[in-house]
Structure 1
Amino acid sequence: MTERLPLIFFFASHLFVSGVLSTSILTIENKCNNTIWPVLFSWRSQVSTSGFALRSGEARAINAPSSWYGLISARTLCSNSTGKFTCITGDCESGEIECPGAYSWSSVTYILFRIDDGGVNSYKISLEYGYNLPITVTPSQSSPACVSSGCMVDLNNTCPNDLKKFSGGTLNSCSSACRESESHENCCTRYFDSKQTCKPTQYVQNFERACPFAYSYAFNDNNSTFTCSNTTDYVITFCPSSIPNITRSSMAPLPGPKDNSQRKLKAILGGLAAVVVFIIVVVIAVVVRAKNARKKSGLNDENIEAVVMLRRYSFEKVKQMTNSFAQDIGKGGFGTVYKGKLPDASGRDIAIKILKESKGNGEEFINELVSMSRASHVNIVSLFGFCYEGSQRAIIYEFMPNGSLDKFLSEKMSTKKDWKILYNIAVGVARGLEYLHNSCVSKIVHFDIKPQNILMDEEFCPKISDFGLAKLCKKKESIISMLDARGTVGYIAPEMFSKSYGGVSHKSDVYSYGMVVLEMIGATNQEGFEASTTSNMSSMYFPDWIYEDLERKQTVKLLGDHVVEEEEKIVKKMTLVGLWCIQTNPSDRPPMRKVVEMLEGSLETLKIPPKPLLNLYVVTETDDSHGTSSLSTLSLLERKASSTFQYTLTDSKEEV
């Protein structure tokens, strides 16, 4: 029961709504001299469109539903000349005017909206990632905390020279120092997470002077968030003729007697709301406990839509989208994946995972929905919806034409490897994991990173999928309480089996990632073991021969007969990164942010890591598609007689 309490609280927080549900009308108008292409991206709830064109002088009204949380930006200098829709600034990388799926931050001006969030609306103009167009936001109702705001600058004078972006010799945008370098100092991450250690850059200083009420970095000393009533509509103007002149005093006047009485009333209502939420939580806990006593299902048909802000489809609609499940594109212990099409004007290709009937209480189903619906990144598979109808459960996500990494490695890389593609895949997966661990709305630890869960689009851009074993954590939570090992045999970190190796944390994903990278370069293949000159094969641990090759500078054996210098550097860099990631002690493994830096940095700066102090056992899976139910060990000599095997690390004294 205690393990389910976080899910219950999550249910309750979404069920309780403060005030009357309402929508706001967002009118987007273009007063620029040229066409712009607005982008609307949703993290919570959905609006009717994700992208469209606005010619000069045109406007368009959008209904933002209750509980909508999203952003608005605008793309410029767009064209479809190559058959794929692209833009010079603000490109959402969808290849089309609409911007569905994941979203990658660009060096442009953003507005972040929260509609009817706890009975109020709020908006914020953000320059955290850069600036491309002047903008104003004008609320239909005004109050001391709800005023018009905007940002208009002269890019030539405001943008530092090293951050200016040009196209055809014309300055079109300014990239923020954080966006340009992604360093800890400029992005206020890691050890630079306080105002004392993370100082405003020249970019921040310039834009704070020009737009004092826009958000430009983590420690802005101004109030950049404007709150309004939940019935307020807004006009968003790109390229306005002027911006409102507001001051701090006009935003926050000293409260008078009437204001004090209103604040007291709000405080009382807030206290009552807290009591109501507490009662709801208790009632739900009692109901769930009673239901679990009668039936082993933790899902509630009425509540699931409140928890997962995604479109819900009937099973009949799922059947129609897949043409009666005509095209099977993959199978696993979880169920079967079918190809289909979205039932809208786009007719976009999708993948629909039909889950097997759950033996437990459906936590994996909820995990995957909640985790993936909260994640929005170019290297994370995008979810479009789900089906939950009795025992029928399905997850609908974007179709990935190049399949999974394991098939790619076995089918397309069996003869000659394209090391540049493999390197880009390694970098993309690292960025996706870094986002999950540090930048997502909630910190997410995946716990099942393996080649089968890395999918690739038409351009071989990797996307992490299958969040059934994922765990949502608090941002500052480092050690995760686990009742059982989870993951797939061969990629599970040692601490998942024994606490003697350290605590379970996001570093467990780092270990799995390292094993994937070593598999990508062929280090875990049988040929690698046989290539070693060491005669004592029964006690050989596979990184040993890698270390020997590194010392002898013989990484070229992984490349085959045709060797070029660039490929050799890629292989050596991936090898070193993989070895750092599989260190026995979790604290010795680099965080994913550092892994990205290592992959993108100079090879000369990478040192050879120490050898992990473990013996090798080959572990075979006897049951459970996730490899967590029954494990057995074989010696290296015995594994030659086995046709299928995977590797994991375990101490010789420790039973798995």
Structure 2
Amino acid sequence: MLAGVYSGSILTIENKCNQTVWPVIYSWESQLSTTGFTLKRGEARALQAPSSWYGLISGRTLCSNDSTGNFSCATGDCESSKIECPGSYSWSKVTYVYFRIDYGGINSYFISLEYGYNLPVMVVPSQSSSTCFSSGCMVDLNKTCPDNLKIFNGATPIACSSACRGFATPENCCTQYFKSKQNCKPTLYTQNFERACPFAYSYPYNDNNSTFTCTNSTNYVITFCPSSVPNINSYAFFFFFSAGGLAALTVIIIIVVIVVVVRAKNTRRKSDSTDENIEAAVMLRRYSYENVKKMTNSFSHVLGKGGFGTVYKGKLPDTSGREIALKILNESSKGNGEDFINELASMSRASHVNIVSLFGFCYEGSKRAIIYEFMPNGSLDKFISENMSARMDWKTLYNIAVGVARGLEYLHNSCVSKIVHFDIKPQNILMDGNLCPKISDFGLAKLCKNNESIISLLDARGTIGYIAPEVFSKNFGGASPKSDVFSYGMVVLEMIGARNRKRAETSRSNKSSMNFPDWIYEDLERKETNRLVGDHIIEEEEEKIVKKMALVGLWCIQTIPSDRPPMRKVVEMLEGSLEALQVPPKPLLDSHLVTAWKTIEDIEDTSSLSTQSLLERKNISTGQDTLTVSKEAV
């Protein structure tokens, strides 16, 4: 874990469908840790694919157990009667993704529709080149599938068979005298797939534009039902599958191309550079401002206000009617749109049970909005305030700490692009109906390459009390994912009451005591863990939880970044035994840190900020000070 050295690639499989998907993993060479599992809507799972792995990934839908306990699925069933799919594999009429990992020094992948289609799929590599870029079949082919190839669940089409699997004729399967590229041409049926998904493999003698090759250090995100799934009008395919359809289709294609070119020119005239940046960085559904008004019932239900803007409650305009939180950015907070693009780009790449899901955005002139999933229990800060902390049991607090750690570990290591949040605090940790924590508010986040360890920042960023020393002063090193580790440690200490208000107010004149509390070490040495929680009476098991969280928090807030554990190690420490944890060394403070904290205190006490070197922000949900400070200021 500490070395961080491994071979192979990380495959993150995420489900953005409106239904549960049961992924299947089948291996011809090497093995993954699982052959099948469950992904509920919005969930993701990262798998380590070893070097020389060769296999496929597909998704099953509409699965259930019968009265005898046998597991089966309407599409993609692997006939194992279980969620896992061990043993031999029977080909299904579904969308497949093939991978070869570290084969001859490179990786390769392709999306296959040779057997059929059931779900839209997209593959996003962590690195890009002329031969390695995002691809997929993102069209809902179930709607345009010929009736004689549709697979139904009642009256609803749920999959589309290939012509070979549906008819088993030599012409459609390229068998017998068709065994050559020259003789086996794409039929009207295979062109259904070929034209809708030109970068997918559709029939045995398909062209060579469907295989993508990447470096062997590339990681991948495989998304079922990516956010933007275009619709294809069925009338085009009526021509496509009828007599004389090719001629009519040619006319349609010409007209479509002309329309697209004209619209592209008009769009370029109207859009500014920020708009172009958004389109390049984000693959999410884009809503009009009129849709935003309808979603929020004309902005009738306010969830919170702040310097960035106002958050409203609403519902998605689709049949699901799912509740959402919709953030409207203030005119004064928009600037050049950098924070807006940051948040969209970061969250659109992140899909994890401990990351707030992003459903879409609005960018229409001066009107900008971000649409999230609604979190009914609000933010973590209300659960760890002086009035609320005694009402939440310690096991729940511990599970919240573990969940946040897993979310950060995903952002730092498993996301398609490494993301450093730079503003971890209780107000940015939201709680769903089951008190599952989800990291939110990526306005200050930084995207970086997976092999980057040090991040270049033009200005300091974060919230007073949670900012890592190196973020506001380069004397402590460079900003990195370890900066989030520091902020996380401060949150954990606050969760157990180690930074309660009375202690902080008493020691306000001594910054070292407030932020690196010597008294925590003294209590741990005297085995007086109960003092950490404000003298509340706790049980033995609860005391172990508090002590573990205290030790992990202290390791995370070490002054020098290299002394802090990475988030993978933090998760391991939290989930491991208390006996394996040692009391960390007391952080060594020097004049640079004291000066920097005094500077932050001066900023906090300043009532009027007129210089361009300092930009004050307010958190939407609470109004807590969040600062972006020029390094020249410190």
Structure 1 and Structure 2 fold alike (TM over 0.5): yes
Does residue 172 in structure 1 map to residue 140 in structure 2?
Answer: no
Q: What is residue 16 of structure 1 aligned with on the other side?
A: none
Instruction: Work out the percentage of aligned pairs sharing the same amino acid.
Output: 61
Question: Cα gap change, 1:356/1:384 in structure 2, threshold over 3 Å: closer, same or farther?
Answer: same
CA distance in 1, matches of 2:98, 2:317: 39
Give ranges in structure 1 of 5+ residues lacking alignment: 1-39, 44-48, 53-70, 76-88, 94-98, 108-121, 139-149, 154-170, 176-205, 244-249, 251-255, 271-286, 633-643, 649-653
Q: Helix, strand or coil for the counterpart of 1:172?
A: coil
Instruction: Determine which of 310, 319, 322 is the counterpart of 2:293.
Output: 319
Question: Cα gap change, 1:404/1:356 in structure 2, threshold over 3 Å: closer, same or farther?
Answer: same
Instruction: Determine which of 356, 376, 379 is the counterpart of 2:351.
Output: 376
Q: What is residue 196 of structure 2 aligned with on the other side?
A: none
Runs (4 or more) in structure 1 with deviation over 6 Å come to: 132-138, 150-153, 206-211, 213-226, 228-232, 235-238, 535-539, 644-648
- Where do 1:328-477 residues align within 5 Å? 328-357=302-331, 358-410=333-385, 413-477=388-452
Q: What is residue 92 of structure 1 aligned with on the other side?
A: 39
Q: CA deviation at 1:540?
A: 3.7
- Where do 1:512-523 residues align within 5 Å? 512-523=487-498
Q: CA deviation at 1:570?
A: 0.9
Q: CA deviation at 1:427?
A: 0.5
What is the identity, as a one-letter code, of the residue corresponding to 1:393?
R
Q: What is residue 604 of structure 1 aligned with on the other side?
A: 579
Q: What is residue 51 of structure 1 aligned with on the other side?
A: 19
What is the identity, as a one-letter code, of the residue corresponding to 1:573?
K
Q: What is residue 548 of structure 1 aligned with on the other side?
A: 522
Q: CA deviation at 1:579?
A: 0.7
Question: Cα gap change, 1:135/1:306 in structure 2, threshold over 3 Å: closer, same or farther?
Answer: farther
CA distance in 1, matches of 2:114, 2:612: 51
Q: Helix, strand or coil for the counterpart of 1:578?
A: helix
Question: Cα gap change, 1:137/1:345 in structure 2, threshold over 3 Å: closer, same or farther?
Answer: closer
Q: What is residue 570 of structure 2 aligned with on the other side?
A: 595
CA distance in 2, matches of 1:505, 1:596: 18
CA distance in 2, matches of 1:137, 1:597: 37
CA distance in 2, matches of 1:465, 1:605: 32
Q: CA deviation at 1:439?
A: 0.5
Q: Helix, strand or coil for the counterpart of 1:444?
A: strand
Instruction: Determine which of 234, 238, 241 is the counterpart of 2:117.
Output: 234
Q: Helix, strand or coil for the counterpart of 2:274?
A: coil
Q: What is residue 557 of structure 1 aligned with on the other side?
A: 531
Q: Helix, strand or coil for the counterpart of 1:574?
A: helix
Contact kept, 8 Å, 1:493 with 1:512, in 2: the verdict is: yes
Contact kept, 8 Å, 1:298 with 1:363, in 2: the verdict is: no
Contact kept, 8 Å, 2:343 with 2:441, in 1: the verdict is: yes
Contact kept, 8 Å, 1:487 with 1:628, in 2: the verdict is: no
Q: CA deviation at 1:561?
A: 3.5
Q: What is residue 241 of structure 2 aligned with on the other side?
A: none
What is the identity, as a one-letter code, of the residue corresponding to 1:550?
L
Per-residue displacement from partner, 1:526-564 (whole Å, max 9, x unpaired)? 3335899xx996874542111111111111113333220
Q: Helix, strand or coil for the counterpart of 2:361?
A: strand
What is the identity, as a one-letter code, of the residue corresponding to 1:51?
Q
Contact kept, 8 Å, 1:152 with 1:210, in 2: the verdict is: yes
Q: CA deviation at 1:629?
A: 5.7
Per-residue displacement from partner, 1:474-529 (whole Å, max 9, x unpaired)? 11111111111111121111111222211111111111111111111121223335
Contact kept, 8 Å, 2:23 with 2:38, in 1: the verdict is: no
Contact kept, 8 Å, 2:56 with 2:99, in 1: the verdict is: no
Question: Cα gap change, 1:398/1:235 in structure 2, threshold over 3 Å: closer, same or farther?
Answer: closer
Q: Helix, strand or coil for the counterpart of 2:589?
A: coil
CA distance in 2, matches of 1:612, 1:91: 44
Contact kept, 8 Å, 2:311 with 2:326, in 1: the verdict is: yes
Contact kept, 8 Å, 1:522 with 1:528, in 2: the verdict is: no
Q: CA deviation at 1:50?
A: 3.0
CA distance in 2, matches of 1:459, 1:314: 32
Q: CA deviation at 1:360?
A: 2.5
Per-residue displacement from partner, 1:292-338 (whole Å, max 9, x unpaired)? xxx9x7412x6634532111111121111111111111122211101
CA-atom RMSD, angstroms? 5.1
What is the identity, as a one-letter code, of the residue corresponding to 1:105?
R
Q: What is residue 247 of structure 1 aligned with on the other side?
A: none
CA distance in 1, matches of 2:181, 2:23: 40
Question: Cα gap change, 1:546/1:235 in structure 2, threshold over 3 Å: closer, same or farther?
Answer: closer
Q: Helix, strand or coil for the counterpart of 1:611?
A: coil
Q: What is residue 124 of structure 1 aligned with on the other side?
A: 56
Q: CA deviation at 1:210?
A: 12
What is the identity, as a one-letter code, of the residue corresponding to 1:597?
E
What is the identity, as a one-letter code, of the residue corresponding to 2:523?
D
What is the identity, as a one-letter code, of the residue corresponding to 2:568?
R
Does residue 510 in structure 1 map to residue 460 in structure 2?
Answer: no
Contact kept, 8 Å, 2:295 with 2:315, in 1: the verdict is: yes
Contact kept, 8 Å, 2:381 with 2:426, in 1: the verdict is: yes
Question: Cα gap change, 1:628/1:215 in structure 2, threshold over 3 Å: closer, same or farther?
Answer: farther
Contact kept, 8 Å, 1:486 with 1:628, in 2: the verdict is: no
Instruction: Determine which of 73, 82, 87 is the counterpart of 2:23.
Output: 73
Question: Cα gap change, 1:530/1:235 in structure 2, threshold over 3 Å: closer, same or farther?
Answer: closer
Structure 1 length as normaliser, TM-score? 0.57
Q: CA deviation at 1:105?
A: 2.9
Give ranges in structure 2 of 5+ residues lacking alignment: 1-12, 26-35, 48-53, 60-69, 120-150, 152-157, 166-173, 175-179, 183-204, 213-264, 617-622
Q: CA deviation at 1:590?
A: 0.5
Contact kept, 8 Å, 1:333 with 1:624, in 2: the verdict is: no
CA distance in 2, matches of 1:646, 1:229: 51
Instruction: Determine which of 501, 519, 531 is the counterpart of 2:476.
Output: 501
- Where do 1:127-146 residues align within 5 Å? none
Contact kept, 8 Å, 2:384 with 2:494, in 1: the verdict is: no
- Where do 1:503-652 residues align within 5 Å? 503-528=478-503, 540-541=513-514, 542-559=516-533, 560-614=535-589, 617=597, 619-620=600-601, 621=604, 622=606, 630=614
Question: Cα gap change, 1:208/1:338 in structure 2, threshold over 3 Å: closer, same or farther?
Answer: same
